[in-house]
Chains A and B, each alone.
Chain A
Amino acid sequence: MDHHGEPLEGLGLEPADPLIWAGLDVVVVLLLLAAVCIHTAGLWAARRRSPWPRHRSLLFHLGLICAAGGLLGPVATAAHTSFTAHMLGHLLLGMIAPLLLVLSAPVTLALRALPVHAARGLTRALRSPGVRVLTHPVVAAVLNAGGLWLLYTTDLFRVMHVSPVAYALVHLHIFVAGYVFTASLIGVDPDPHRASMPVRAAVLILFIAAHSILAKWLYAHPPAGVEPGDGKTGAQLMYYGGDVVDISLLVLLFAGWYSATRPRHRAHDAVTSR
């Protein structure tokens, strides 16, 4: 690949060897293949239990396809020179792929597939104080939105395009923060410390606000080295594309509330109210 050597004055960084960039692509392909293999192995290990819903498997693979679309192929290639393509890649990797993967309930599948002692270990790990703090909606939202502010308001955006290490870390952060944030709000996996509905609702409102403010700010102040026209299109894609995913999150948040507050059977109410 030859598109990584953009002129980057003033950063003191030399463009990295194209081989390193190619190696990064190979790592991504291997990680995606590993995810497919582990998922298939999980389905096989849990085959004696009640059948795993097909839509969850479908969501898992669609999520991986979206993540792949953000990291490999034409969008990722164009993202090194086009801000709009970069934004499309981030929408895929940081918002749409996490949403689909969270809805595929991977932790539930792992708990079904793992032997009892290993499943207990996983549960213990999920209950640990560190995980509890990281998966709190407030922390997850700060990590997610804070990462975006850092990326677009500092030199990180330019550094990322010359340094494969920065590129890998930024994209890892975008995906993981997107996943944890989505799971903390609308996760379908068991969550021993699920935050209350008012907390999750407030966090989602603040996140949507931060996302739209950043998009409009980028419209006026594109990152260094981005053409103004390209910056405006990219910012609008961030604004409207982010809205589509954010509104899906709102609907899923309320759908969870709706099914959790399902009225009890009438006869039961009549008995208890006497």
Chain B
Amino acid sequence: MLPPARHWLGGSCFSGVLFGCGIAASMIDLFIFHLALQWHHFYDLSTSEVALTADGFFHAFGWFITVWGLFLLADIRRRAQVHWARWSGAVLTGVGFFQLFDGVVFHKLLGIHQIRYGVDLFVYDLTWIGSAVVLLIIGLLILRRTRPAQVPA
């Protein structure tokens, strides 16, 4: 028997979006772009102090929500069954949303760092922002298809 519907903060959707935003902010950038491809490094020395401060807070917040999202998932698992399809959709939504935010705010508006150096950035920016929008749309579609059934009053 499942427990009664709980607050949205405890739901798999919230956990998945947090985890998705978190891995997009912390792990994907670190493991793929810094360590594997080495397209950009942790600091390119061109950043203004305001942007550096903003970057520090987003760095801390990214890891925080990654761990928070996973512990919320563990909490849901021990209380009820996890709707994995819905959770996965929420993760994709989170990754897409954060990547879009990163591409527009960090790369373009604040200019903290670029995706790659010494190349024509337009193609990279287009791929980055385009793939973010695609991920976001797929995630939102999955979330829509897996909406909990309306309980008749």
Contact = CB atoms under 8 A, between A and B. Distances in A.
A205 interface: yes
Contacts of A204: 60, 64
Interface residues of B, number: 21
B45 A220 contact: yes
A243 B42 CA distance: 13
A258 B79 CA distance: 12
Contacts of A220: 43, 45
A208 B60 contact: yes
A255 to B, nearest CB: 8
Interface in A237-256: 239, 243, 246-247, 250-251, 254-255
A212 B67 contact: no
Most chain A beta-carbon contacts within 10 A, residue among B47, B55, B56: B56
Interface in B25-71: 42-43, 45, 47, 52-53, 55-57, 59-61, 63-64, 67-68, 71
A246 B26 CA distance: 13
Contact of A205 (B42, B53, B60, B74): B60
A149 interface: no
Contacts of A219: 42-43, 45
By secondary structure, the A interface counts as helix
B7 interface: no
Nearest to B71: A254
A250 B52 contact: no
Nearest to A246: B63
Contact of A210 (B56, B67, B68): B56
B9 to A, nearest CB: 12
A263 interface: yes
Interface residues of A, number: 28
A50 interface: no
B145 interface: no
Contacts of A196: none
B68 A254 contact: yes
A45 interface: no
Interface in A190-211: 201, 204-210
A257 interface: yes
A217 interface: yes
A77 interface: no
Given A216-B43, A236-B42, A263-B79, A258 B71 contact: yes
17 contacts: A201-B64, A205-B57, A208-B59, A208-B63, A209-B60, A212-B56, A212-B60, A213-B52, A213-B56, A216-B43, A217-B52, A220-B43, A243-B63, A246-B60, A251-B67, A254-B71, A261-B75
Given A205-B64, A216-B55, A220-B43, 13 more contacts: A205-B61, A208-B63, A209-B53, A209-B56, A212-B55, A213-B52, A216-B56, A236-B42, A243-B63, A257-B71, A258-B71, A258-B74, A258-B75
Interface of B: 42-43, 45, 47, 52-53, 55-57, 59-61, 63-64, 67-68, 71, 74-75, 78-79
Please provide the 4 A-B residue pairs with the shortest distance between their CB atoms, ordered closest to farther: A208-B60, A213-B56, A209-B60, A254-B71
